[in-house]
Amino acid sequence: MSDKYRTHYCGALSEGDCGKEVAVCGWVSKQRDLGSLIFIDLRDRTGIVQCVFDETVDKKHFDAAFSARAEFVLAIKGKVRMRQSPNPNIPTGMIEVLASDIEVLSKAETPPFEIVDDTDVNDQLRLKYRYLDLRRPSMQDALSFRHRVTQITRNYFDENGFLEIETPVLTKSTPEGARDYLVPSRVHPGEFYALPQSPQQYKQLLMLSGCDRYMQIAKCFRDEDLRADRQPEFTQIDLEMSFVDVDDVIKVNEGFLKRLFKEALGVDIETPIKRLSYKDAMERFGSDKPDLRFGFEIKDISDIAGKCGFSVFSGAVEKGGSVRIINVEGGAKFTRKEIDALQEHAKTYRAKGLAWLKLSDAGEISSSFAKFLTEDEVKGIIERANAKNGDLILAVADEKTDTALISLGALRCECAKRLGILKKGDWKLVWITEFPLLEYSEEEGRFTAMHHPFTSPLDEDLDKLESDPGKVRAKAYDIVLNGVELGGGSIRIHSTELQARMFRALGFTDEDTRERFGHLLDAFKYGAPPHGGLAYGLDRICMLLLNRDSIRDVIAFPKVQNASELMMGSPSPVEEAQLQELCLKIDTKE
């Protein structure tokens, strides 16, 4: 570190530095004028230190300190001493710098919002002035944490024999899934590159190239609608390994997760991590991303409700559906108005309604359906739910069992949130395995790949690929943390014949297959090892481990809901000459 401007970072000073002459630089967080004393809280990325100017300092330096305002950039020299009035709320709160010299490196206008963490400024303004927003300590901490995560990642995979290899950002469009971002070519008029949705094909080709183990912190792009945990450009921790099956990939990644939690958070996670099949996850939790921090597991009461006098229940079972319940422990405290709100929440997941049964603390029953059932049927439902006094049973009946499961899966999470039982720092990891290989798209009138078309079927399901494709399970696995997918992957198809069968099951003609994936099928002809991998969402990992609500809080310059970037104003129009050079003409619809 050059001592022309500074010898120490602001937040690095401690009691052990007392008596030292130091130089610090940063932005003015706060200036307080007490007449004969001026206090300046100086902030850099490491924290804040108090600098004090008294009457012993040269007048020009005292006047400069007096004139300093919020966000001025200063260089201050002085001697570290103990504070007379310690501040236990900051790490440097026991010491201060008695200033002897100050230099104003840059003046600042009054910022559009105060640079503090407890600000209530709206997101639009924060993102328009992102360079100011990033000065806030919580944002500096987030960027530092993200850096630490990437360093842990690189170190771990390097120690385990992975090579970090960059793959192209300008690539070929192979539409299957989300929309591609397209880049027009000047050299090839009328033709386009695509920005990669993932390095999937390149990393498989690296396995065919004999690289054996690959890793990359990869930029990826998807032109899709945004949510709190999605961006049009995002970053993956991308992996691929040769000569492996499911257990091998999971073992390496459990080692990574154990290292990550320990070094980033100081938390020891248990390994091996629990595994659930996709079928079990859906049956028990109504989600392939189950939150295991609480119970409220789904139970099937179709055998009890199928012949009861409540037509909503019996009718669903008669039509081939089912009746499912969850027991919300302690949920009897919910008022009727709150239960009605839960019903509306269930309807957003296509449930037609929500039936309920309360057990008061005294054991009294109140219910929307109990009067239509016999005493034994009500008792049977309560026993199946393992309900006790103070609990609330919620039931969904539907001719489509998936609707009942998914809506109850959403309700169990909503109830846990409303009851306030979700604790920060309670980390529950789970692997979800044996996903369906294919899912039927009513819109497209064909089967589509649930993950991607290179995922290998389970060996025992290969014979169903043509006869019953909807029943084929995949060698696919997702790692889920507290109800959020951290990453996912699969064992890939390495047989040319099997890959061709897969494309046929997806409804691709031989011509389509050759046009989109001919390069990959050609490569398979020259010796493909069994291989598989996984990709984590780096932004999502950082968001979850920092308990932030949005990945915007862990990305330096994120986009907003409509995929625009407010600070630089992108996307934006370009000059006509640029369009002509690319042989493009814009036909903007009203």
232-262 residue pLDDT tens: 999 999 999 999 999 999 999 999 999 999 9
Question: Which residues are bridge partners to 98 per DSSP?
Answer: 52, 79
Residue 282: predicted pLDDT? 98
SS3 426: coil
Segment 314-336 mean pLDDT: 96
Burial class (CB in 10 A: 0-12, 13-18, 19+), 468: exposed
Q: Taking the model in full, what pTM does it have?
A: 0.92
- Tokens representing 211 are 């690289």
74-83, 270-279, 436-445, 532-541: segment of lowest average pLDDT: 436-445
Question: What does pLDDT average to over the chain?
Answer: 94
Q: List pLDDT tens digits, range 269-309.
A: 999 999 999 999 999 999 999 999 999 999 999 999 998 99
The pair phi, psi for residue 42, each rounded to 5°, is -100, 130
CA distance 84 to 53: 14
Sorted by where each starts, the structural domains of the chain and their CATH numbers stand as: 10-106 (2.40.50.140), 140-275+430-550 (3.30.930.10), 294-422 (3.30.1360.30)
In the structure encoding, which two tokens stand for residue 398, read together? 């539907």
Instruction: Name the burial class of residue 224, with classes exposed (0-12), middle (13-18) and buried (19+) by CB atoms within 10 angstroms of its CB.
Output: middle
Which whole number is the average pLDDT over 380-385? 96
pLDDT at 511: 87
Beta strand ranges found along 345-409 (DSSP E): 355-359, 365-367, 392-398
Strands 95-106 and 47-53: parallel
Sole residue written with tokens 């932030």: 548
Read off the pLDDT of each residue in 532-542 and give the average, rounded to a whole number: 97
| Res 268 pLDDT > 90 | yes
Name the pLDDT band for 514 (thresholds 50, 70, 90): confident
Q: By C-alpha distance, which of 356, 313, 298 is closest to 332?
A: 356
pLDDT for 509 equals 86
In terms of Cα–Cα distance, which of 38, 43, 47, 99 is closest to 68? 38
> For every residue of 175-213, which 3-state class applies, written as one string?
CCCCECEEEECCCCCCCEEEECCCCHHHHHHHHHCCCCE
pLDDT tier, 582 (very low <50, low <70, confident <90, very high otherwise): very high
Strands (DSSP E) contained in 538-577 are none
45 is written with which tokens?
Answer: 């990325």
Enumerate the H helices of 209-329 as residue ranges: 246-265, 278-285, 302-305, 311-318
Bridge-based pairing of strands 355-359 and 213-221 is unpaired
Asked if residue 321 lies in contact with residue 397, where contact means CB atoms within 8 angstroms, the answer is yes
The pLDDT score that the predictor gives to residue 174 is 75
Q: Which of 242, 224, 245 lies closest to 233 in space, CA to CA?
A: 224
What is the residue-wise DSSP string for 431-445? EEE--BSEEEETTTT
